[in-house]
Amino acid sequence: MFYEYALISVVIASGYWGYYFLRHQPHGTLTFGMMQLTAAAMAGLGLLGRSYEQPILGACGAIGLGGGACLLVIGPLARGAARRFAASERVAIASRLLDLAELLAPGSGVAEEKALLAAMKEIREGRVEPTVNALIAAKHQVPADAGARQAIDERIAMLYLAAYRWRDAIDYAEQHLIPNTRDRALDGMSLRDVLGIAPPVWIELLGAYGRTGDLDQAARMMARLEDACTGREDASLWLHRGRMVFLALAGRPDAVRTLVDPRRSRHMTPAARTYWVAVALQHHGDLEAAGVEFQRARSRSRGRPRDLIDEAIARLPATNAAQLSPVATEVVAKVEAAPPPPPIRLPKSHLPWATYAITASVLGVAGLIALLVGPSSDPGVLLRSGAMVRGRVDDGEWWRLISCVFVHVGPVHLIVNAIGVYFLGKVLEEIFGTSRTIAIYLGAGLAGAVASYLASPIGVSAGASGAIFGVLGAAFIELTLHRGRYRAAWKRGMWGGLLVVTIAQAGIGFLYPVIDQWAHGAGLVAGVLLGTLLSPSVRWARVGAIAGHVIAVAGVVVVAIVAVQIARTSIADSLARPALVRYDLDDMAVTAPAGWAEGRRSIEPTTRLRTTELVDPDNLVIIVVAHTPSIDTTVTLGEWVSYS
């Protein structure tokens, strides 16, 4: 089953993305799209091979599965890991991972990322001329009055600043940017309007002037920044950064320590805090203390920041204390006397707690069942663990309609659903939030269980598939109805990815009739309805948020009650709930719950012995009464023949 599921996933996913890349050609080549379609075709042949038992088709399926794994999984994983290493300044490892990604998924855009990484490496080594020349050429193609020209100029200045080429940055800024900063009104719409250039560029240029010894110009820029930030709540970050840089280069360690206090600088890393204290001590003239702080900062840094610290340590013996002119002294006194900027409020990171909790509960329940009850592929274990058994629900065990969502049949069923819950749950929680995600998951799971109870021919049902289809349905309908709010998600192909997963899940269900499609369908419909009603993008979004909280809290309480019911209900308790009646099976009387039916009767052709079955309607228990001879007739006949 797992192999067929993988083949179906490759057929649908590679087919979809192959068509997408062939149609849009986002990277200017057909290679990636053609490889995707080839993998889909080979996996499709493998599916045919499973039906017709042709070895050559099976080999095609294995090739398609391997190709799909490289194109859809391993290549993107290597690419994502490369981005993380690049962000942490580990360029060499990132470069090797991108080489691997390009080998596994050629034509998927890895070449562009490799070019960007090469540019980062050049900047790290101070070689920014190729990038600067390309930007200058692009600037000349932009209309003279367009704001894009200034944006390009700011980017060029930041390239020089990122490469620690302070004098080049100052020269370029004085020629192309500083003239735009003169005679600006203080009542502009934004801080950029008031300063004339972007605040990050302004502050880094302020630092460049200070590092090259022009503290007077740095002081004038600091004074302008103070005036521009007055009364602006959104300017705290830039005011904090500007004061810290200016006071550090002016040699004011006490003032810098106040600014980098963790309560006021939560947006800074410990290495950055230590570094700026070291800079302040260096320009104050306390070289020994500065060396200690630089070493502390170095031990917490890597990449370019560590290179900058190494340069500072190398220049430390030749450093003199900062000499402040009257202009700089006046600005320093004004900045030190000013009230500190309000603490920087960082946006709260919304971790997918609901997804973590649901995934942990699914895995935790499976672990408890394995430890305390037995293998979950055993029908008796499923009955004891809370699977949905129609006869037991009829007899009053209503809680099985909820507990069955957390019970799975065997390890493959568990792994597939746990992966689905984790990845799809994160998508849903990013859109709907924690409470509404729990509400949608539990509501869709309950709807799937009820549909299975009412309509499915399968007497025993377990698994989170109905809830997963509900998650799919809710995310799908939200992205479809409110496409304008989720342009980034559409650009990432999230909508198409959800469609692929939905079709793949449904396809595996049609291949295997034992899978409960009633639960899948009802869960999907419930997810669509709940996603529409609880949507954060509609007029009644506030009411939906409150409803989501209420449903989530109530659902968690009910799940806790259900857990208690499972713990206190044994198999004997479940089987003893209905009235017991007597069944006469040939010459034997059997006492069993009412509603059981006599199964087939058969007569063994040679011995003429009868066999009778008594069957539980849910097929959990089958009692077989068979007549067996008291002697081995084969041995007896052999003895008769030998005597004769």
Least confident of 202-206, 330-334, 339-343, 418-422: 339-343
Measured distance CA(61)–CA(52) in Å, rounded: 13
For residue 357, what pLDDT is reported?
94
Q: Is the pLDDT of residue 491 over 50?
A: no
Banded pLDDT at 142 (limits 50, 70, 90): confident
pLDDT at res. 407: 92
Burial (Cβ within 10 Å: 0-12, 13-18, ≥19) of residue 382:
buried
Give the confidence band of 286 by pLDDT, cuts at 50, 70, 90. very high
Q: Residue 602: its pLDDT value, please?
A: 57
The pLDDT assigned to 237 comes to 84
Tokens, residue 389 = 């058994």
Indicate the pLDDT class of residue 332, thresholds 50, 70 and 90: very high
For residue 610, list its beta bridge partners. Answer: 603
CATH node for 353-574: 1.20.1540.10
More confident residue, 279 or 619: 279
The pLDDT, as a whole number, for residue 359 is 94
Report, as an integer, the average pLDDT of 220-248. Answer: 87
Q: Which CATH architecture has domain 139-337?
A: Alpha Horseshoe (1.25)
Q: Residue 436 is encoded by which pair of tokens?
A: 């509404």
What are the Cα distances from residue 3, in Å, to 62, 413, 444, 486? Answer: 10, 13, 27, 34
The pLDDT value given to residue 207: 94
Confidence of residue 243 (pLDDT cuts 50, 70, 90): very high
Instruction: Give percent above pLDDT 90 in the chain.
Output: 30
Cα distance between residue 535 and residue 320, in whole Å: 62
**Using one digit for the tens of pLDDT, what is the confidence trace for 384-395?**
888 888 888 888
Burial class (CB in 10 A: 0-12, 13-18, 19+), 351: exposed
Of 146-155, 166-175, 497-506, which one has max mean pLDDT? 166-175
3-state secondary structure 236-281: HHHHHHHHHHHHHHCCCHHHHHHHCCCCCCCCCCHHHHHHHHHHHH
The pLDDT-based confidence of 355 (bands split at 50, 70, 90) is very high
Mean pLDDT of the chain: 82
Percentages of the chain per state (helix, strand, coil), in multiples of 5: 70, 5, 25
- Of the segments 80-84, 181-185, 356-360, 518-522, which one has the largest average pLDDT value? 356-360
Alpha carbon distance 265, 222 (integer Å): 19
Chain centroid offset of residue 159 CA: 32
Does residue 291 register a pLDDT over 90? yes
**Range 97-113 average pLDDT:** 84
The pTM for the full model equals 0.63
pLDDT at 106 over 80: yes
CB count within 10 Å of CB 384 equals: 20
Based on its alpha-carbon atoms, the radius of gyration of the chain, rounded to whole angstroms, reads 35
Using DSSP, state whether 642 is helix, strand or coil.
helix
Backbone angles phi, psi at 539, to 5 degrees: -65, -35
Domain ranges, ordered by start, for the chain: 2-121, 139-337, 353-574, 579-643
- Which one has a higher pLDDT value, 361 or 4? 361
pLDDT at residue 216, as a whole number: 94
**Confidence at residue 217, expressed as pLDDT on a 0 to 100 scale:** 94
Average pLDDT of the residues in 295-299: 93
Tell me what pLDDT residue 607 has. Answer: 47
pLDDT bin (cut points 50, 70, 90) of residue 275 is very high
DSSP H or E run through 588:
strand 588-593
Section 101-110 average pLDDT = 84
Active-site annotation, residues:
465, 520
- Report residue 168's pLDDT band, with 50, 70 and 90 as the boundaries: very high
Instruction: Report pLDDT for 158.
Output: 87
Residues near 531 by beta carbon (within 8 Å), at least 6 away in sequence = 432, 440, 473, 474, 475, 476, 477, 478
Percent of the chain with pLDDT over 70: 84
pLDDT in tens, 111-125: 878 877 776 777 766
Any residues with CB less than 8 A from the CB of 189 and at least 6 apart, and which?
none
Helix H, strand E, coil C: the string for 71-113 is: HHHHHHHHHHHHHHHHHCCCHHHHHHHHHHHHHHCCCCCHHHH
Residue partners of 401: CB distance under 8 A and separation at least 6: 388, 393, 446, 449, 450, 453
| CA separation, residue 91 to residues 54, 233, 374, 548, 620 (Å) | 48, 37, 49, 44, 59
